[in-house]
Amino acid sequence: MSEITDKKSTDYSADNIQVLEGLEAVRKRPAMYIGDIGIKGLHHLVWEVVDNSIDEAMAGYCDEINVEINEDNSVAVSDNGRGIPTGIIAKMGKSALEVVMTVLHAGGKFDKDTYKVSGGLHGVGVSCVNALSSHLTVTVNRDGKTFRQEYKQGIPQYDVKEIGISDEHGTKVHFLPDSSIFTESVYKYETVAARLRELSFLNKGIKINFKDHREVGEDGLSIGETFYSQGGIKEFVSYLDSSRQQLIPEPLYLEDTTGPIPVEVAMLYNTSYSENVYSYVNNINTVEGGTHVAGFRRALTRTLKSYADKSGLLDKLKIEITGDDFREGLSAVISVKVAEPQFEGQTKTKLGNSDVMGAVDILVGEMLNNYLEEHPREAKIIVSKVILAAQARFAARKAREMVQRKNVLSGTGLPGKLADCAESDPAQCELYLVEGDSAGGSAKQGRDRRTQAILPLRGKILNVEKAQEHRIYDNEEIKNMITALGVSFGTPEGDKELNMVKLRYHKIIIMTDADIDGSHIRTLILTFFFRYMRALIDNGYLYIALPPLYQIKKGKEERYCWTEAQREVAVKELAKDGKEDSVGIQRYKGLGEMNPEQLWTTTMDPERRSLKRVSIESAAEADLLFSMLMGDEVAPRRDFIEKNAKYAKVDV
C-alpha cells in the first residue's frame, strides 16, 4: 500500500500543473462553455452572436439584424447597432475589439450603464465562438470608419486595422465552426428559424432577416424568412395556439414597464387538456421555470378562484378546485427583464430572483381581476373550463389509481406480454417498445436477455392529443407501457408530475416498421411521452431504433443499408459492373421480415445498432408541432403538409 502511495506522489509534481492561456481552456473543454460539441453546441454558437445583437436592440441602439448561413456552413451575423468599440484599452495596450473577441469575461454587460439588461452575463459568449471557430472575421462600422480583424482558432492574425470609411454603424461577425472540435457541422434551417422567430416575438419592433444560401427556392434566390412582430408576445401566444380551438377571442395581454422589473404576460385559453406556459428572462428560455412562473401561477389561481367563488359558479361543484385545474387548456408566455438575474449555472434554465415573484404576482393579480370584471362572458367561459378540468382531474386520478392498484394486486404487476430482462440495475436495462406481435416475437428471440426487455404493442395506441386524461388510462397499450416502466404519477411538485423513483429502464427504445403505419405509430407514442412523460425525454431516456431499409446480398456476402446512398455504394461494390440485377436487393418494410439473428445484428446489438436520442430543442415549437399534427384542427395540418410535401419520402 505504501509503495503505491510513494509512486503516485513522485509522479505528481509541478510539471503536472498546466495553465491554459487565453482561449485555450475553451478549446480544451468546450462542453463546459457551450453545453456540448454536437448539434446543440453547434447552434449555440449562433445564439451567442445573435444575443449580442439583441442586447444592442434591447438597449435601444439596433432595430435590424441579419443572419446568413453560407454554402460552406459558415455563419454571418450583422446588426445596425453602435458597433463594438475599437479604441485602445490603456491597461492592456490592446484594442477593445480584440479584448472582447479574445478574453473571457470581457464585455460591456458588467457595466450597468452600458446595458441595463442582457442575456449573457458571464462575458464568455463571443470569445467562445471565436475560440471554437477555425476562422472568424469581425467587421465594425463605427465613428465613420470600418475596422476589421481576423482570427484562426481564436488567435488574431493581425492587429485591428482600419480598412475604409463608412457612414453606417454596426458589427458583423462571420465564423466557421471548427470541424476538429464539433461532431456535427451542418446547421438546421428549422432550428435557426425557430429561435429567430422566437426572438422577434420577444423583442417587438426588431426586424430579423434570415437567409440560407445552401438551398435555392423556386424564384432562384436563396431561401429565407423575415421575422418581425409589432404585437410581441401577444402575437407569440396566438402563433403557439394557431392549431388549437380558442375559448376566448383575443389573447389577454398584461404589461408593466414602469417598475424596476419590466414584466409582460400574454395568455389564452383553448379546448385542449394540457398546460403550455413558456417563460423567458432577458430573452433566455427558462425551461425549468423559476420565480417568475411561480408568481404567475400563484396570482392566476388566487384571482380566478376568488372570482369563481364570488360569482357562485362553483356552488354545485362537490370537488375541491386545485391550481392544476386553472391551468388546463392555458397557453401563456411570460417575459421579464431583470438587471441582475440569478440563474442556476451557465445553462440559465431556472430563475432564482425572489423579487421577480412579487412583481409578476402583483401585475397578473391586478390586471387579471380587472379583465374578469370587464369581460363577464369570457370570465364565465374560463370558469366553466376550470370546472370541467376539475371533474376530469378527479376521474383521471381514479383511473391512475386503478392502474397502480391493479399492479399491486397482481403480484409483480408486470404486463403479461412483457419479456423482461434479468438485470435489475435501471442504468443497464433497455426496454424495446415493438410494433406488432410478429416483430415482438423476433425481438424476444434475438435480444440479449440479460439487459434487454421487449414489450410488443398491438396496433395503434390512443391519440392522447384528442383525449381527456382519464380516457388515456383505459387504453390497454398505454396501461402496459406505464406498468412496464414502473413509473407513477404524483410528486411534491404536483399530482400530474411523473414519479421516476421506481423507473426500471434508462433506455426506452421505440422500434417500429419503416413504413407509413410505422411512422404513425411512432408519432402516437412520441405524443404520449411528450404530453405525459416529458421527464423521460428531458433526462435523455427515450430513443428511436433505426432498422435498415435494405439488405444487399451477393453469394454469401451481405450488406445492410440505412440510406439510399449506402444502397448505391453497396450495389457498386458487390455487383458486377455495378449492375443491380446481379445482386439481391431486399427492401425491408416491416420488422417481421427479419429473422431474430438479423434483427439483433442490425437493430439491437449495442456494438452495431443505430439509435436516435429524442430531445427537445424548443419546447414551444415542439408543442406547436404536436398540436398541429395530432390535434383536432384540420386547416393548420393541411397547410403544413402542403408546405413540406416536397421533403416527404414515401414508398409507392
**Rounded distance, CA 444 to CA 637, Å?**
37
The model's pTM is 0.78
Kindly name the residue from 517, 538, 558, 568 that is annotated as catalytic: 517
Location of C-alpha cell 456552413: 73
Instruction: Give the per-residue pLDDT at 323.
Output: 87
429, 505 contact by CB (below 8 A):
yes
Q: Residue 432: which residues within 8 A CB-CB, separation 6 or more?
A: 443, 447, 452, 453, 454, 455, 509, 511, 545, 604
pLDDT in tens, 348-366: 578 888 999 999 999 999 9
pLDDT in tens, 79-88: 999 999 988 8
Kindly name the residue from 513, 593, 621, 623 that is annotated as catalytic: 513
pLDDT in tens, 245-263: 899 999 999 999 888 899 9
- pLDDT of residue 123 exceeding 80, the answer is no
Tell me how far CA of residue 586 lies from CA of 398, 565, 592, in angstroms: 49, 15, 13
The stretch 512-539 carries a mean pLDDT of 89
Location of C-alpha cell 449555472: 345
- pLDDT of residue 7 exceeding 60, the answer is no
427, 352 contact by CB (below 8 A):
no
Tell me how far CA of residue 198 lies from CA of 227, 296, 324, 465, 621, in angstroms: 9, 21, 27, 24, 9
More confident residue, 407 or 163: 163
**Rounded distance, CA 290 to CA 447, Å?**
43
Active site residue 159: no
Kindly name the residue from 515, 558, 568, 633 that is annotated as catalytic: 515
- pLDDT of residue 466 exceeding 70, the answer is yes
Active site residue 315: no
336, 262 contact by CB (below 8 A):
yes
Continuous H helices in 312-448? 323-327, 354-374, 376-409, 437-446
Instruction: Give the per-residue pLDDT at 592.
Output: 81
Active site residue 474: no
Report the amino acid identity of residue 306: S
Mean pLDDT is lowest, of 150-159, 414-423, 577-586, for 577-586
Active site residue 515: yes
**Rounded distance, CA 624 to CA 198, Å?**
13
Q: In the structure, what pLDDT confidence band is assigned to residue 49 with cuts at 50, 70 and 90? A: very high
Kindly name the residue from 212, 235, 241, 435 that is annotated as catalytic: 435
The structural domains of the chain, ordered by start, are 24-227 (3.30.565.10), 233-392 (3.30.230.10), 412-547+588-616 (3.40.50.670)
Q: In the structure, what pLDDT confidence band is assigned to residue 407 with cuts at 50, 70 and 90? A: low
**Rounded distance, CA 370 to CA 140, Å?**
49
237, 268 contact by CB (below 8 A):
yes
Location of C-alpha cell 434479468: 422
Helix, strand, or coil (residue 148): strand
**Rounded distance, CA 118 to CA 54, Å?**
8
